[in-house]
């Protein structure tokens, strides 16, 4: 982008902010104006290159910034005013922090003379956001703005990505200073360890070269490193089966013969059985989340575990590895490749075929051949019609598990969801942000009737911005995941999970979004086809079986060996 300001030019702080955004490569901002950030919006008027998306709630701005960052690899940017505007970003910041999404949140603050006086719409954003950001800043002097912005954008993407917040007092926005922009962040770069040592590589290779039943568990860190091909090269060289965590889905094509599914509470049978039989487990760019391991003392106790992660604090935090290596997933795997011997593992791979058949017979066939419309059928049909290459932005709950289990991702980096925080309502604004970040993508938002009502107001933003997202609303008139647990583990006591929902077709009409309703598989197929041919946003309400359950599942507090493959096993 063409820069506007020259070094040494004296301008207002608000204009310096816009210039810094321009130099950081920002193309879209998701925000909401208010009294404490109105000078920034006044300066923004002079910068038409910076597209501003007016969300309807600041939480939507943060989630949209996440979706934008996910597709572009660059920090998503969100604006909010002081007080409630800024605090409304917190859920999105926490979500980005747990899922390692780079966003830069820029909030207005009361004038510096009023700090600490409980002024109108004053909130201590440094204190509020300290636990949910990689770093945060309070800027009270105009001359500090440019250096803070340069550092903030670097921090957001360096090492393990994450959210950074810049809180700027109103007087710093309106006062004048000379523009001095520095991109030199060498003092920060030197703190990162990105590659493995020769000794670490030799030890990893020795373990894998001598393994009889090796297993790879790869997570979001591999996607963030920007390379699934190297992971596949390692797997193919030694015939190592690969499992992908929920946030790691779409790192490698799911139709690859070495792909063995997603581990976790509602993961695939093979992916959950394998850790109990592997002798060497290579964990790359994942953090041994409780939803993956279940009871940690029962997770792969017989295996020698190698853990590669860019964040040193993750090594040994949940599972103690035999070897922990701090480094970038892509770089370490590339380093490792020449050290690995070519190997085949036909007997080990045959076990996975047995486990896959068990799941097919007990779960997949029943779900996909159900006479009543089920969520699995909807996701499977979207996958079929989009040739498995659409980007799926999944919300949280049962719909999230169906999107993870039944889409069969074949395109790199095409599955987004809220993993660590599990934020209901995430998908609607995040899907909008993803589409705006990469308009060439076909974006489908999968969301439940509970989740959509948490961020429903962003339908107005989607219409205003003419964002061509397709929304698959899986409506069972329940908070489905909670209801499933109540049915299976709380004697069927359905406490506060049944929803009296609005008429979603009338709601869509009010917002100006075209919509259809599907009650069976034939109608679902037709509706998906129509939605794909229709320009602009489109919502399909799929009326799915009210009391459908996601299987397999691992009960809370159990080990992965106690996985329940079908409901019949609970009787």
Same-domain pairing of 291 and 325? yes
Per-residue model confidence (pLDDT) at position 354: 97
Q: How confident is the model at residue 116 (pLDDT cuts 50, 70, 90)?
A: very high
Look at residue 186 in the predicted model and tell me its pLDDT. Answer: 72
Do residues 526 and 378 lie in contact, with contact meaning Cβ atoms separated by under 8 Å? no
Q: Long-range contact list for 315-320, CB < 8 A, 24+ apart?
A: 317/287, 317/288, 318/287, 318/288, 318/289, 318/290, 318/293, 319/283, 319/288, 319/293
| Region of poorest pLDDT, from 55-69, 187-201, 206-220, 237-251 | 187-201
Residues 115, 98 within the same domain: yes
Separation between Cα atoms, residue 167 and residue 81, nearest integer Å: 9
Provide the CATH number for the domain around residue 281: 3.40.50.1220
Q: Is residue 62 within 8 Å of residue 41, measured between CB atoms?
A: no
pLDDT digits (tens, 9 = 90+) for 513-528: 999 999 999 999 999 9
Confirm whether 554 is domain-assigned: no
* pLDDT, the chain, mean: 96
CATH number at 443 reads 3.40.50.970
User: Measured between alpha carbons, how far is 152 from 146 in angstroms, rounded to an integer?
Assistant: 10
Structure-token pair, residue 428? 């609607």
CA proximity to 390, closest of 339, 440, 344:
440
User: Do 343 and 218 share a structural domain?
Assistant: yes
Distance between CA 355 and CA 260 in Å, rounded?
9
Q: Is the pLDDT of residue 338 over 80?
A: yes
129 in the same domain as 233: no
Q: Is the pLDDT of residue 1 over 70?
A: no
Provide the residue range defining the domain that includes 268. 198-351
Query: Is the distance from CB of 449 to CB of 473 less than 8 angstroms?
Result: yes
Same domain, 134 and 99: yes
Does the pLDDT at position 184 exceed 70? no
Q: What residues have CB less than 8 Å from 159, skipping those under 6 apart?
A: 191, 192, 310, 311
pTM: 0.97
559 domain residue, yes or no: no
| Parallel, antiparallel or unpaired: strands 415-417 and 391-394 | parallel
C-alpha span between 235 and 111 (Å, rounded): 56
pLDDT at 425 over 80: yes
CB 404 within 8 A of CB 262: yes
- DSSP state letter for 75: P
**DSSP secondary structure string, 338-392?**
GGPPP---HHHHHHHHHHHHHHIIIIIHHHHT-SS--HHHHHHHHHHHTTT-SEE
CA-nearest of 547, 256, 258, 263 to 404 is 263
Inter-residue contact 77 to 26 (CB < 8 Å): yes
Is there a domain that residue 571 lies in? no
Phi and psi based region of residue 31 (left: phi greater than 0; alpha: psi -120 to 50; beta: remaining): beta
Q: Please report which residue ranges of 158-252 form alpha helices under DSSP H.
A: 170-174, 186-189, 198-209, 220-224, 229-238
pLDDT at 571: 67
- Residue 4: inside a domain: no
- The per-residue pLDDT for range 436-451, each reduced to its tens digit, is 999 999 999 999 999 9
Total count of domains within the chain: 3
Q: Is the pLDDT reported for residue 2 higher than 90?
A: no
> What confidence score (pLDDT) does residue 227 get?
86
CA 554/CA 389 separation, integer angstroms? 30
Distance, in Å, from the CA atom of 504 to the CA atom of 449, rounded to the nearest integer, reads 9
> Does residue 361 sit within a domain?
no
Token readout for 521 is 């598989």
Residues 71 and 153 in one domain: yes
| Helix, strand, coil % in the chain, rounded to nearest 5 | 45, 15, 40
Q: Is residue 328 situated within a structural domain?
A: yes
Answer yes or no: do 324 and 405 share one domain. no
Residue after which a domain boundary falls, among 322, 351, 380: 351
- Distances in Å between the Cα of 313 and the Cα atoms of 161, 222, 246 are 14, 17, 21
Judgement on whether residues 35 and 172 belong to the same structural domain of the protein: yes
Considering the domain architecture, whether residues 212 and 338 belong to the same structural domain is answered as: yes
For residues 180-202, average pLDDT: 85
- 499 shares a domain with 392: yes
Structural domain contains residue 363: no
Instruction: Calculate what percentage of the chain has a pLDDT beyond 90.
Output: 95
What average pLDDT does this structure show over 544-552?
96
| Residue 323 parent element (H or E) | strand 323-326
Q: What is the pLDDT of residue 567?
A: 87
What is the torsional sign of CA 19, 21, 22, 28?
negative
Region 201-207: mean pLDDT is: 98
DSSP notation for 150-177: HHHHHHHHSSS--EEEEEEEHHHHHSEE
Same domain, 437 and 471: yes
75 domain residue, yes or no: yes
Could you give the maximum distance between any two Cα atoms of the chain, in Å? 75
Closest to 238 (Cα-Cα) out of 358, 91, 348 = 348
* Cross-strand bridge partners of residue 446: 394, 472
Q: Which of 525, 505, 523 is nearest to 515 (CA)?
A: 505
Note whether 344 and 299 are same-domain residues. yes
pLDDT in tens, 252-292: 999 999 999 999 999 999 999 999 999 999 999 999 999 99
Least confident of 29-43, 173-187, 225-239, 394-408: 173-187
How many CB atoms neighbour CB 6 within 10 A? 8
Q: In sequence order, what are the residues at sequence separation of 6 or more whose Cβ sits closer than 8 angstroms to the Cβ of residue 498?
A: 477, 478, 483
Report the distance separating Cα 270 and Cα 260, nearest Å: 6
Over the Cα atoms of the chain, what is R_g?
Answer: 24
* Secondary element (H or E) of residue 283: strand 280-284
What is the mean predicted confidence (pLDDT) over 173-196?
85
Active-site residue list? 58, 120-121, 170, 481
pLDDT per residue over 467-523, tens digit each? Answer: 999 999 999 999 999 999 999 999 999 999 999 999 999 999 999 999 999 999 999
């Amino acid at each position: 982008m063409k820069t506007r300001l020259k070094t040494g030019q004296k301008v207002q702080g608000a204009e310096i902010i816009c210039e810094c955004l321009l130099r950081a490569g920002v193309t879209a901002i998701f925000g909401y104006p208010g009294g404490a950030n109105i000078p920034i919006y006044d300066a923004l008027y002079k910068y038409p290159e910076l597209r501003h998306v007016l969300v309807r709630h600041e939480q939507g701005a943060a989630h949209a910034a996440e979706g934008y960052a996910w597709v572009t690899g660059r920090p998503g940017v969100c604006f909010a005013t002081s007080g409630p505007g800024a605090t409304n970003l917190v859920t999105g910041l926490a979500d980005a922090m747990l899922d390692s999404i780079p966003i830069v949140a820029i909030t207005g603050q009361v004038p510096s003379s009023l700090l600490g006086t409980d002024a109108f719409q004053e909130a201590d954003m440094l204190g509020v956001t300290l636990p949910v950001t990689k770093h945060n800043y309070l800027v009270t002097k105009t001359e500090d703005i440019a250096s803070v912005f340069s550092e903030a954008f670097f921090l957001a993407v360096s090492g393990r990505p994450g959210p950074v917040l810049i809180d700027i007092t109103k007087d710093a926005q309106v006062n004048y200073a000379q523009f001095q922009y520095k991109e030199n962040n060498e003092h920060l770069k030197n703190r990162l360890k990105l590659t493995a040592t020769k000794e670490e590589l030799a030890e990893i290779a020795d373990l894998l070269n001598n393994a009889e039943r090796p297993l790879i568990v790869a997570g979001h860190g591999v996607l963030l490193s920007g390379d699934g091909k190297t992971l596949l090269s390692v797997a193919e060289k030694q015939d190592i089966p690969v499992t992908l965590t929920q946030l790691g889905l779409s790192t490698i094509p799911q139709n690859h013969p070495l792909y063995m599914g997603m581990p976790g509470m509602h993961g695939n049978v093979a992916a959950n059985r394998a850790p109990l039989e592997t002798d060497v487990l290579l964990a790359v760019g994942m953090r041994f989340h409780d939803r993956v391991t279940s009871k940690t003392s029962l997770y792969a106790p017989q295996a020698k575990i190698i853990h590669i992660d860019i964040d040193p604090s993750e090594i040994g935090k949940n599972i103690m590895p035999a070897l922990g290596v701090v480094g970038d997933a892509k770089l370490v795997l590339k380093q490792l490749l020449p050290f690995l011997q070519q190997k085949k593992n036909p007997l080990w791979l045959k076990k996975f075929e047995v486990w896959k058949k068990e799941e097919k017979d007990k779960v997949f066939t029943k779900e996909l051949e159900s006479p009543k419309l089920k969520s699995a059928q909807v996701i499977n049909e979207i996958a079929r019609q989009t040739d498995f290459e659409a980007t799926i932005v999944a919300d949280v709950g049962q719909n999230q598990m169906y999107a993870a289990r039944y889409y069969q991702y074949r395109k790199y980096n095409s599955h987004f969801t809220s993993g660590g925080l599990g934020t209901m309502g995430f998908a609607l604004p995040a899907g909008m942000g993803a589409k705006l970040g990469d308009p060439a993508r076909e974006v489908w938002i999968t969301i439940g009737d509970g989740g959509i009502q948490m961020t429903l107001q962003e339908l107005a933003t989607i219409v205003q911005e003419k964002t061509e997202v397709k929304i698959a609303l899986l409506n069972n008139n329940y908070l489905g995941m909670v209801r499933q647990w109540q049915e299976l583990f709380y004697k069927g006591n359905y406490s506060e999970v049944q929803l009296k929902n609005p008429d979603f077709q009338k709601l869509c009409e009010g917002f100006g979004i075209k919509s259809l309703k599907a009650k069976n598989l034939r109608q679902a197929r037709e509706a998906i086809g129509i939605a794909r041919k229709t320009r602009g946003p489109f919502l399909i309400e799929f009326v799915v079986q009210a009391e459908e359950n996601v299987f397999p599942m691992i009960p809370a507090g159990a080990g992965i060996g106690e996985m329940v493959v079908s409901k019949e096993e609970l009787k």
